[in-house]
Structure 1
């Protein structure tokens, strides 16, 4: 690696938001200087300032979007003294349920004057363009809301979003007071897991509060012994139980369960979900699911006996529909309340998903062309395409003992191939996702990671970069002068991913390129790797030079290792201008043990 390239990446690593802004400068150049149309006004929060071209860019947007009633933009924070910018808020498309948690349109909105006048008349409030309360009344009365995805407001406050509301008007429809007595039919699929099923149904019965419920358990073929135990649980906890011997076809089994339901609302739950306490989750979900514009409703799910996040909504990323913030500790707040507030999302997990039965029937239930994977996401996307909005409630949580009963699809070759087929089917059915993207996930947020960060792609984060075998290298033992470690090897549906670090003592870390040696059934093959930033290396090895980019990540396509009985990976170094490869034998980590 050249020193100039090293300095470039160091700056990108240490100041990623600055790099993000530099890469997108062209987006902020209007075609010409313009002013807002006369029938529009702007509301600008006093504790911040506008981008220099804000008015012209908004005027261009109004013309392009055929005159929406209400326009909001993205924003960030700015230091008044240094001018340094930080904390970007790259917002979702129109999200009326998120608006109930806080006034997310933020510090800059543009509105038709007629809309402002109507809000004054109908709300009885005085016109105050600095008031979130009044701007809220304008937003919910707008017939056409548009999000301009550019950062046009810079706030002097780091976090100014604590404003909340309880009830609302959305899309011109007053929220209908919900009927607490409506029956919720809880559909649970279970096979050969009587102890887990008991924990699930007992926690529901214990903490259902005033909700009116019926429980329906569909068993796709438990053993005779476990069938007897399930029947005993049915009598003990008063639920309908039916055993239907068949393969685990999630969509078909859920549709069978729904056909047995007598309630106005369906709640699909996994048998590995547990209600931890009295938190009113059923009535909260029922209240939201009762809104005319709502499709599916989910809740926050945590890993059992922990504060680690399993689900706060599903987002479409480069690898497919994903659980943002999965495994992150829930004792921190992430990206403007993503794990705290109610948010509109592309989808919620079928592990706990409520939907009004009338809406479920309207879309034809679960698509039985999908057997297991993406069934819940597809259901939610069907609802979205019918004009409904899916919602995750993050002020209530349940525990999810994820995939305990079925196992991990990625680690089973047959299940992995089926999952890939079903992913292809899902995208073929919903092409708008590839054409326009997830409406509730900003195009400039990272599509590669589970964090919420601006999309500043580092080489090691690009999962499209697959390792290639290096021909003609003579593999030598690195010896004691090389320090190395293969920290982890993990499997994904498409590749094996090895991470680690390697450098030669008393040499600049820029003089050698990292790689790996794959040992498969006794044969050795060198592979390229991508450098990765490891900020801890200079701290652990204080006498070494320029080793913070001596980490590596190597993704080897699965088909390269598909038919081998055993395989392992060692870290190696490629000297510049040499045909040798120095492998650190002590760093060997197994991949496949036949």
Structure 2
């Protein structure tokens, strides 16, 4: 049986799948050792020193056979656009330039022209190579300029000669994958009105070894205002580029960012191809290796972004992220300091509530806010005393409304809104503590924007590690927090933790929105008493056309689970399961594909790692169906929450159970086709249960712990 990475949806493939994974596992190790047999079997697979990425490349690199099929299939495409590749050249290493040109000539899609502009190169070998390349392929044209005018001007010279409907940007030392233009052509046949197409990318060194894959989200406008994440490969509709006046030379180095910022003000028809189609060259003078080598690039990016913010009628200041060139935080000017209603459901736990209120009133710099406590039946005398003390201390800014009902977070919040006077609603857990004084200001800056629905914050555990940095749909089955457990000092995956980003959902523990938006989407759904109500609210905003944003510069502690505990699913398993069932019925499309997260990344871990192939064969003790492994896996759940190699051994921890909650009698495990072993079953795992409370009683015995030898070599 086969399960693709630790996930709620096992992949079924039987003996053939097992054989495939074992072959790929052997091949990855053999490629690392320089095996001649491995290179003969898969000469098309690039090398990577990253074991997980090497396996991904084996899975996804098209074979020579597949490339031949692409050449045949392109003839049947309804639309076969001509692509004009724009390549400005100035004194690159000759070998890199040759490899760049040859990567174009190796394309499976044949309808292209390569427009090379030699921008005053002083190396005679460059001119000789360009002349030879043009003589060997009529699709390559070369124009030599008498002096070096810069990348933007040289690119504009090439664009002026372009005949294709689409422009493809290619640096003089980078590489296209052989299927790049074919994939773009296929995408345009599916979405012919696209004005911009971009792909995923990685880096390539002087030896042709790949590293640093960047698997991107689909188009996220606010993420793009924090950094130029689309980067390579970028394909632009030529007619729109011409209408925009091509590249602006005053933004040399940041000219592509500037052009795309202007283009996206004209069009939202932007298409992402979630495949690695571009290799960005790493060498001593490239920003791929060290952003500090070209500080003028990021200065130009900064100016282009500031100009775009000013141009869009939402004035603000673009603030560079210290220590991370190319990353920015946009602090919008607050047009009007309207009242913010902070709604805090609470019950007992006076010490937590006191810490929360003290931080709100002592630290908040925003001039106009009120706090509405919704007391959900507190019975402890210290709580009553605390509320009385705070009401007396803040008579104008704090009100307490009692609502004695069975716990229903949605209803408590809705009840608070009914008593709110604010233009903005800020839902806040009572087990939070404010860190940044301008936290309300930062959230209002975003919430005031007409396109924005929900605004979320960076929530930290008491030890400073991340509890919430945005929510990802489909992670862990339904939804989970981005980068949970990671250090807050880390920039996160591709700078995700240090930049403003679009997410489908943000945590209800600290969530702001305009009251008009809240009313428009129908408030919190009270049929979800506790579980995914914040996700549901955010997705209703997405459905209405709003965007949700998460802010790295708004920070709070979240002492998660201390107010009500983490065992709500145990106390109310039926209600919790009903919430989960609703989410699957209502929001299946987002659970299956979160556009703010790459389909190439894991759906089981929260740290944006690549998925890992894990072979699983399980036989429930009381299988309701045919108990043969090939059938049993259809009714089998598994999540691997830790997988690491130490001293030549794999350590694997996670849980496994039948679809109806049955304990397993036996569990066989195979990692990347290497070394099958038996897991140890019946090991209680409270930590896993805390993360996956829907599992039910954590003592049922379906958690497993396993370690096995592996022949995988260390990189």
TM-score (norm 1): 0.75
| 8 Å Cα contact 1:100-1:167 kept in structure 2 | no
Q: 1:65 to 1:235 in 2, by over 3 A?
A: same
Match of 2:713 in 1: none
User: How far is 1:244 from its partner?
Assistant: 1.1
1:268 paired residue among 427, 433, 439: 427
Residues 155-304 of structure 1: pairs in structure 2 closer than 5 A = 155-157=280-282, 158=288, 174-175=313-314, 178-223=334-379, 225=381, 226-237=383-394, 238-278=397-437, 280-304=438-462
Distance in 1 of aligned mates of 2:605 and 2:704: 26
Residues 95-174 of structure 1: pairs in structure 2 closer than 5 A = 95-120=220-245, 131-157=256-282, 158=288, 174=313
Distance in 2 of aligned mates of 1:437 and 1:5: 25
Q: 1:160 to 1:190 in 2, by over 3 A?
A: farther
Distance in 2 of aligned mates of 1:127 and 1:572: 55
Distance in 1 of aligned mates of 2:368 and 2:567: 35
| 8 Å Cα contact 1:467-1:529 kept in structure 2 | no
User: How far is 1:439 from its partner?
Assistant: 1.1
2:504 paired residue among 343, 346, 366: 346
| 8 Å Cα contact 1:273-1:400 kept in structure 2 | yes
Distance in 1 of aligned mates of 2:375 and 2:481: 27
User: How far is 1:571 from its partner?
Assistant: 8.2
User: How far is 1:375 from its partner?
Assistant: 0.4
| 8 Å Cα contact 2:426-2:512 kept in structure 1 | yes
Deviations 1:221-258 (A, max 9, x none): 01162224312222223401111111110111111111
User: How far is 1:468 from its partner?
Assistant: 3.6
2:481 paired residue among 308, 313, 323: 323
Instruction: Answer 1 or 2: higher relative contact order, Cα 8 Å, separation at least 6.
Output: 2
* Higher relative strand content: 1
Distance in 1 of aligned mates of 2:559 and 2:697: 32
Structure 2 counterpart SS, 1:459: strand
Match of 1:51 in 2: 177
User: How far is 1:129 from its partner?
Assistant: 8.5
User: How far is 1:450 from its partner?
Assistant: 1.6
Distance in 2 of aligned mates of 1:564 and 1:310: 22
User: Is the aligned partner of 1:453 residue 2:609?
Assistant: yes
User: Is the aligned partner of 1:85 residue 2:210?
Assistant: yes
2:197 paired residue among 71, 90, 93: 71
Q: 1:4 to 1:335 in 2, by over 3 A?
A: closer
| 8 Å Cα contact 1:325-1:450 kept in structure 2 | yes
Match of 1:430 in 2: 587
Distance in 2 of aligned mates of 1:181 and 1:321: 34
5+ long unaligned stretches in structure 1:
472-493, 502-507, 519-523, 534-545, 575-594
User: How far is 1:217 from its partner?
Assistant: 0.8
Deviations 1:172-226 (A, max 9, x none): 9643653241211111111112221111111111221134211111111011622
| 8 Å Cα contact 1:530-1:553 kept in structure 2 | no
Deviations 1:98-140 (A, max 9, x none): 0111011112211122322343399896798954233332234
Q: 1:446 to 1:555 in 2, by over 3 A?
A: farther
| 8 Å Cα contact 2:668-2:677 kept in structure 1 | no
Q: CA RMSD for the aligned pairs?
A: 4.2
TM-score (norm 2): 0.63
User: How far is 1:334 from its partner?
Assistant: 2.0
Bigger mean CA offset, 122-131 vs 193-202: 122-131
Deviations 1:486-536 (A, max 9, x none): xxxxxxxx88999999xxxxxx999xxx999x9xxxxx9953342569xxx
Match of 1:35 in 2: 111
Residues 538-557 of structure 1: pairs in structure 2 closer than 5 A = 552=679, 554=681
User: Is the aligned partner of 1:17 residue 2:173?
Assistant: no
Distance in 2 of aligned mates of 1:564 and 1:452: 27
Structure 2 counterpart SS, 1:206: helix
Bigger mean CA offset, 54-63 vs 439-448: 54-63
User: How far is 1:49 from its partner?
Assistant: 2.1
* Higher relative helix content: 2
Deviations 1:20-52 (A, max 9, x none): 122123598543224368332122345522222
Distance in 2 of aligned mates of 1:173 and 1:248: 44
| 8 Å Cα contact 2:436-2:555 kept in structure 1 | no
| 8 Å Cα contact 1:342-1:393 kept in structure 2 | yes
Deviations 1:434-456 (A, max 9, x none): 5x511111111111222212333
